[in-house]
Amino acid sequence: MKAAFIGLGVMGYPMAGHLKNAGIDVCVYNRTAEKAQRWVEQYKGSMAQSPAAAASGCDVVLSCVGNDDDVRQVLLGDAGALSTMRSGALLIDHTTASATLAREINSAAAAGGVGFLDAPVSGGQAGAENGALTVMVGGEGSDYEAVKPVFESYSKFSKLLGPAGSGQLAKMVNQVCIAGIVQGLAEGLNFAQKAGLDGAALIETISKGAAGSWQMDNRFETMLADQYEFGFAVDWMRKDLGIAIAEAKNNGADLPVAELVDSFYAEIQEMGGARWDTSSLLARLTRK
C-alpha cells in the first residue's frame, strides 16, 4: 500500500510515523519542509514538495492540519491532494474541521471517484505518540472497512458514526462535553481552595462517584499545582468550540454552557494563556 500524509504537526508527525512503522510506503508533505526532512530521516520514508505531488499514485491520502482553511488548501487547492488522486483511492482527513467542509470535500472527491472519510481524532499528543488515538469517522461503510487497518496503526479505537460529516459532528459533541466538565471541575477546585480543603484527599474521595470524570482523574494534580504549560491548547479548544457553536446555529441545538466556557477561554487568551491546557479554566478563577 502506498500512502501520503499531509501535515506533520504534534499529531500528524507521530501518526505518519506509526503508519510507516506498520510497513506502509509513506510519502509526507509539510508546509515547513525542515520538519518533513526530519521525519524522512527518522522514519526512512519519502517527502514531496506539494500535497498534489505527495498524493500522486497513492492508494490512501491522509491529512491532519490546522483548520478549515488549511484543509481546503491542502486537499482542494490548485496543488491540493485531490488534483492528482486516482479513481478508487481513499482520502481521509484527520483534522478537526467543520461538518460543512467535510460534506464539500466528500462531493469533490466523489466527482473524481475518490472515497472520503472525515476522521477527527481524540487522545491528544500522547495518544498520537503512543498509537492510542480514538478515531471518529464519517463516510461510507465500504471505505471505512477498507481503511480500518490503517487506523489501527495509530489508534486503539475507531468507529463509523454515519455519513460524511458525522465524524466531525461527534468530535463537536466530545468538545462540548469537555467544556462543561472542565468548567465544573475548575469551579469545584476553586471552591475547595477557598474553603481550605485538602485537594488531593478531596479528589480521592469524590473521583470514584457521580462527580468523577477523565478530566478529574487526569488534570486535578496539575490544576491544583497551577501548571498549564502542556496538553491541549486553549487556542485549539476555541477553534473546536467555534465550529460546534456555528454548527449549532444551523441545527438548532442550544449550547449555553459551551458558549459561556468559550468566552472564558477568550479571557484566558487575553491573559496570555493561548497555549495553556484547557484545564486553565481554573487559572482564570485563581489568577485574576
Question: Annotated catalytic sites, by residue?
Answer: 171
> What gap in Å lies between CA 233 and CA 270, rounded to an integer?
14
Residue among 21, 190, 227, 269 that touches a second copy (CB under 8 A): 190
- Shortest reach from residue 94's CB to a second copy, in Å: 15
Q: Which one among 10, 33, 257, 266 touches a second copy, defined by CB under 8 A?
A: 257
Helix 214-224 × helix 199-206 angle, to 10°: 180
Does 126 participate in binding a second copy (rule CB under 8 A)?
Answer: no
In whole angstroms, give the CA distance from residue 5 to residue 15. Answer: 9
Q: Is 214 in the site for a second copy (CB under 8 A)?
A: yes
Task: Choose among 88, 150, 145: nearest CA to 121.
Answer: 150
Q: How far apart are CA 187 and CA 260, in angstroms?
A: 13
The size of the chain, in residues, is 288
Which run of H or of E encompasses 248? helix 234-251
Backbone angles phi, psi at 272, to 5 degrees: 95, 10
Q: Give the binding range for a second copy (CB under 8 A) out of 3-11, 15-23, 37-45, 175-183.
A: 175-183
Q: Is 242 in the site for a second copy (CB under 8 A)?
A: no
The minimum distance between CB 277 and a second copy, in angstroms, equals: 11
The nearer residue to a second copy, 6 or 133, going by C-beta atoms, is: 133
Interface with a second copy (CB under 8 A), residue from 178, 223, 233, 241: 178
- The three cell numbers of residue 253 are 441545538
Nearer to a second copy (CB atom), residue 52 or residue 283: 283
CB of 196 to a second copy, least distance (A): 7
Q: Indicate which single residue of 92, 102, 161, 283 sits in contact with a second copy (rule: CB under 8 A).
A: 161
DSSP state of 88: T
Smallest distance, a second copy to C-beta of residue 285, A: 5
- Which of 144, 80, 140, 89 shows the shortest CA–CA distance to 113? 89
β-bridge pairing 90-93 and 60-63: parallel
- Which x/- pattern, by CB under 8 A, does the window 13-52 give for a second copy? ----------------------------------------
Please select the residue that binds a second copy; options are 55, 60, 179, 241, rule is CB under 8 A: 179
Q: Which stretch binds a second copy (CB under 8 A): 32-40, 65-73, 82-90, 167-175?
A: 167-175
As measured in angstroms, the least distance from the Cβ of 109 to a second copy is 21
Closer residue to a second copy (CB): 32 or 207: 207
Listed in sequence order, the DSSP H helices in 56-197 are 68-71, 99-111, 124-129, 141-152, 166-194
With vertex at residue 255, the alpha carbon angle to CA 250 and CA 258, rounded to the nearest 5 degrees, is 125
- By beta-carbon proximity to a second copy, the closer residue of 25 and 259 is 259
Q: Is 112 in the site for a second copy (CB under 8 A)?
A: no
As given in the structure block, the three cell numbers for residue 66 are 490546522
C-alpha cell at 172: 463537536
CA distance 128 to 212: 25
List residues binding a second copy (CB under 8 A). Answer: 99, 122-124, 134, 136, 157, 159, 161-162, 166, 169-170, 172-185, 187-198, 201-202, 204-206, 208-216, 218, 232, 244, 247-248, 251-258, 260-261, 285
